[in-house]
Amino acid sequence: MRKHALPGEPAGRIVVFQERSIRRTWHNEEWWFAIVDVVAVLTDSVQPEGYVKDLRRRDKELAKGWGQIATPLRVETEGGVQRVNCANTEGLFRIIQSIPSPKAEPFKRWLAQVGYERVKEIENPELASARARELYQSKGYPKDWIEKRLRSIAVRGELTDEWKARGVEEGKEYAILTAEIARATFGVTPGAHRRLKSLDKVKTGNNLRDHMTDLELIFTMLGEASTTEIARRKDAQGFDENRGAAREGGAVAGNARKDLEARSGKPVVSRANYLALESSATPAPPEVGSPAKIAKGKPKGGKGAK
């Protein structure tokens, strides 16, 4: 069973300790955390990179074993996905030993709990879905939309499992294939789609799919599910063959979208977003399932779907 990404946790995933964000990534069947983020939380240092250097200089034993503790892994940064030194739970416990901080013990307990929750989710994937559902509900997303979003995560997981088995490299190649499907499905790239929804104007790393309308999610699923089936049918191997499958799968969804638009007289690609929920501290769950209705009848950035 695949370990699906949770909302707000694409490639570089984020958890929160005492209102401070810590980036993490899943590697070798366990969580690895960005060391500078942990140091920043424990020390309140405005220059955690420098603090880490001082730490290694002061603690000779830590410096000696640093190569076994710190591993450069791909996580989200302000400049995009980059390799950042990360440590697993055991490695962080060793680093924490060298940091005099009143937050150390609470952080250790929190870290153990975070790891435990992930292990339980692997044993029972329904727990991950339940946690994702609770998160979306807490933000005020409509129930019908939440179910579609969770289903889209499962469809996406099945596709990426297929890519992995067929020799596609995670990271850049996944992103290129995803863009191929999206372009063929919607007639716009993911970047253009984000700009249409005004997601490029905020600095919160909003996941495009968390701002899609019901129809946009449905066509996204159709494109990715079609790609999975075509890749299997053609036994696509490697990046180039799977790129062809991605274009074909996206075209299936794109043709269906064009047919619907011709019959309904309305475009599927929408300016609507859920930014109103992101900026609201205590959002009230809406009654209906479209971003436009949540934003008092007008989606942010325009009068309607265009």
The residue among 193 and 105 whose pLDDT is bigger is 193
pLDDT at 222: 98
For the cut 80, the answer to whether the pLDDT of residue 36 exceeds it is yes
C-alpha 262/C-alpha 258 separation (Å) is: 6
Distance CA 228, CA 223 (A): 9
Alpha-carbon distance of 128 to 120, in angstroms, equals 9
Q: What does the pLDDT look like over 103-120, one tens digit per residue?
A: 777 877 777 666 656 555
Percent of the chain clearing pLDDT 90 (strictly above) = 45
Is pLDDT at 286 greater than 50 in this prediction? no
**Nearest-angstrom CA–CA distance, 214 and 143:** 11
pLDDT-based confidence at residue 172 (cuts at 50, 70, 90) = confident
Confidence tier at 288 by pLDDT (50, 70, 90): very low
What is the average pLDDT across 65-77?
A: 88
Highest mean pLDDT among 122-126, 266-270, 296-300: 266-270
Q: Round the average pLDDT of the chain to a whole number and report it.
A: 80
Residue 3 has pLDDT above 60, yes or no: no
Q: Where are the domains of the chain?
A: 13-123, 140-294
- With 0.85 as the threshold, say if the pTM is over it: no
Report pLDDT digits (tens) over 139-168. Answer: 899 999 999 999 999 999 899 999 999 999
